[in-house]
Structures are given as C-alpha cells and as structure tokens.
Amino acid sequence: MLNPGDVVLLDFPGVQGVKLRPGVVVSSAAYHLVRPDVIVALCTSNLASAMAPTDYALQDWAAAGLRVPTAFRSFFVTLPAGDIRRVIGKLTAADWAEVQARLRIALAVT
C-alpha cells in the first residue's frame, strides 16, 4: 500500500511527454482506501527551475532514496496505483512537513 510522503518511481506524464522520474505520493490513506488511483507530485533534479513558492528543495534527499539533490514541485498527476513502478524511499518528517506546507499553498487548503 502506498502512503503519503512515499517517494516512488513512475512514468510521469509531463508537458513535454512521459519521462521516468521520481515523485512524491500526496494522496491520503483515506483516499487510497476507496480509490484505485494515487495522486503523485513531481520531483526534479533541476533545482534552478524549482523556485516557485509551491516548490521545495528537499534537504534530506539521500535519506529519501534519491541519488542527486532534488526538489519537490507542485505539479500533480493522478494515475492507477499499478502504474507506480516501485517505492524508492520516504521523505523525512521535516521534508514532509515542508512539502505539506507547499501543498496548502498550491491547493488553497488549510
């Protein structure tokens, strides 16, 4: 079962086509109980492009199973849970709290 804050590997459909890349599961356990899909946000190693208030440069990227410095971006995709290739790690509590703060900004929720 996928959990919020899991770092996963998937074929991420983006603006310029599909690319194998990491993402962060942002859908909740309650969502996963009743839905066959998962909501994932983009991760990028292009830190220079991740400068929006809804982006966040992960501090503990290596602990999350990532190979290079990586940023979270509030660019979302909803896809079948079976499309997740594998879980490669989990965000630390500190990084997950920062990502949740960016989600609140991006989605206008409190």
In a domain, 1, yes or no: no
Q: Structural domain tally of the chain?
A: 1
Position 17 scores a pLDDT of 82
Q: What is the SS3 string spanning the chain?
A: CCCCCEEEEEEEEECCEEEEEEEEECCCHHHHHHCCEEEEEEEECCHHHCCCCCCEECCCCCCCCCCCCCEEEEEEEEEEHHHEEEEEEECCHHHHHHHHHHHHHHHCCC
Q: What CATH number is given to the structural domain containing 98?
A: 2.30.30.110
CA 27 – CA 102 distance, rounded (Å): 14
Q: Which domain holds residue 90?
A: 6-107
**pLDDT tens digit sequence for 33-63:** 999 999 999 999 999 999 999 999 999 999 9
**pLDDT tens digit sequence for 86-99:** 999 999 999 999 99
